[in-house]
Amino acid sequence: MDDLNEKAARRRKISHAVEIAILIILFICFIFPFILVIINVFKTKADITTNPLALIGEHGFTLENFPEAMRKMNFWRSFANSACITIFSTIFTILLASMTAFVIVRNKWKACGALFGLMIASMVIPFQVLMVPLVSLYGGVLDILNHRATLIFMHVGFSLSMATFMFHGAIFTNVPIALEEAATIDGCTRWQTYWKIVFPLLKPTIATVAIIDAMAFWNDYLLPSLVLAKKELYTIPIATQVFYGTYSTDIGLVMAALLLAMLPILILYMFLQRYIVEGVTSGAVK
């Protein structure tokens, strides 16, 4: 009997070791591109071309890629554009989605159910199907392209369905209606109940929606490239295209630009990561 237990324990240890080894290999595969960016951002173009896997190039350690990349892509102007569009799009998405979900959950109207069903159905429509008529309408008919407000409006529209779906699950499972009834008895209006009772209880979901949407807005290239044609309105993903030439590409400057573009989102994720798992699972179980 003892031998059987020892064999079972040995098999469990071997199985656990194999799982850890597989996870480590997968982690290295996923993190390798980022490590490659970190290594090459401090090299000259010649060193990157010669040996991109070397930790230090033949010409040594250099920081010249950063100021040169910032100058060529007009980094601070592009950063301000990206920050403005990302912040306002994320805030409007969170507010509108949470309000919409609150109305849908707490009202049993058929119109609410139909609206929620349409929002869920719209999530399966690819953006590529809509981009040509979208640009034709906003550019050819309404003539409101080349404005940050237009891009913010589009970002909010495309992200609202997913955010509403997440807030719907969170309100349905994590916000007891008894709290709202108690607030109503104490004299709170519907608006005050939402702001003082419901919205503060949605912090994990708010953090999850914020990091998911902020990453999407910050890194988006296709939609801004269709809406923003003026250089003074370029976001960081569009501005990085200045480094890609017809016959050659300065890889060092590209790496520097990519690292500069990643830092704000990485910092935001570090602050909000403890809410991510809680927010994703908050509406998963009834």
pLDDT in tens, 256-281: 888 888 888 888 777 777 666 655 55
Query: With bands split at pLDDT 50, 70 and 90, how would you rate the model's confidence at 64?
Result: confident
- How many other CB atoms sit within 10 Å of the CB of residue 211? 20
Mean pLDDT of the chain: 83
Report the pLDDT averaged over residues 15-42: 87
- How many other CB atoms sit within 10 Å of the CB of residue 223? 19
d(CA 91, CA 156): 9
Q: Is 249 helix (H, G, I), strand (E, B) or coil?
A: strand
Is the Cα dihedral 248, 253, 259, 260 positive or negative? negative
- How many other CB atoms sit within 10 Å of the CB of residue 172? 16
Smallest CA-to-CA distance from 151 within 224, 234, 225 is with 224
* Segment 94-117, tens digit of pLDDT: 999 999 999 898 888 888 888 888
Asked whether the beta carbons of 94 and 166 are under 8 A apart, the reply is: no
* Segment 134-160, tens digit of pLDDT: 888 877 777 788 888 888 999 998 999
CA gyration radius for the chain? 25
d(CA 233, CA 228): 6
d(CA 16, CA 254): 40
